[in-house]
Structure 1
Amino acid sequence: MQIHYNCRHCQRQVGKLDRERVEISELGLECLNEEDHKEMITYDAQGNMKIKTICDSCERSLQQNPHYHELDFFIH
């Protein structure tokens, strides 16, 4: 199984893991509630996991422009 981390704002790939088996606790996802889990984690047809996260560039943009939090997507 591959695990893809992509930025929820710019869609840039942040990271990728290629593991046969992985425990949710290894990924730090056990602290997500059910709603966040549904919003942040999806699976493709091959069973690969896709996790929405935030890249460093978008994080800096959000810190410098707090009103961006109101937007689903923004250009930085």
Structure 2
Amino acid sequence: MRISYVCKHCQHQVGEINRPDWNFQDAERLCGFGSLSSVEQEDTIAYNQNQSVAYVHVVCDHCQQAVEENPELLLEGKLLQ
């Protein structure tokens, strides 16, 4: 299984874990996905079962800094236009 961490604002890949011996239940347990509520999991994780890839939506350092410096960007609906 591959776990790809992608910024939810700019779509930049932040990191990746590639563990061919894992399944989604292993990733849930070992990466802490099981501690998220079902709503949080739906908002954060997209699982492509055919390709055995989980896309985890996070916020990259660049976008986090942009929000901290200009919080009004979140009011516009999309951080990067």
TM-score after normalising by structure 1: 0.83
Secondary structure of the 2:6 match is strand
What residue is the counterpart of 2:4 in the other structure?
A: 4
More helix by share: 2
Aligned residues of 1:6 and 1:50 also touching (Cα < 8 A): yes
Farther off after superposition, 7-16 or 23-32: 23-32
Determine if contact 1:9/1:72 at 8 Å carries over to the other structure. Answer: no
How far has the Cα of 1:58 moved from its partner?
0.3
Aligned to 1:24, which of 25, 28, 37?
28
| Structure 1 residues 38 and 31: alpha-carbon distance in aligned structure 2, compared to 1, 3 A threshold | same
Q: TM-score with structure 2 length normalisation?
A: 0.79
- Structure 2 gap ranges (5+): none
Give me the identity figure in percent.
Answer: 28
- Do the aligned residues in 1 keep the contact of 2:27 with 2:33 (CA within 8 Å)? no
Give 1:71 deviation, angstroms.
4.2
Kindly report the root-mean-square deviation, in angstroms, between the aligned alpha carbons of the 2 structures: 1.9
Matches within 5 A, 1:1-76: 1-19=1-19, 20-21=21-22, 22-44=26-48, 45-75=50-80
Aligned length in residues: 76
- Find the aligned partners of 1:46 and 1:37 in 2 and give their Cα distance: 19
Deviation readout 1:32-73 (Å, 9 max, x if unpaired): 211111011011231211100010000000101112223443
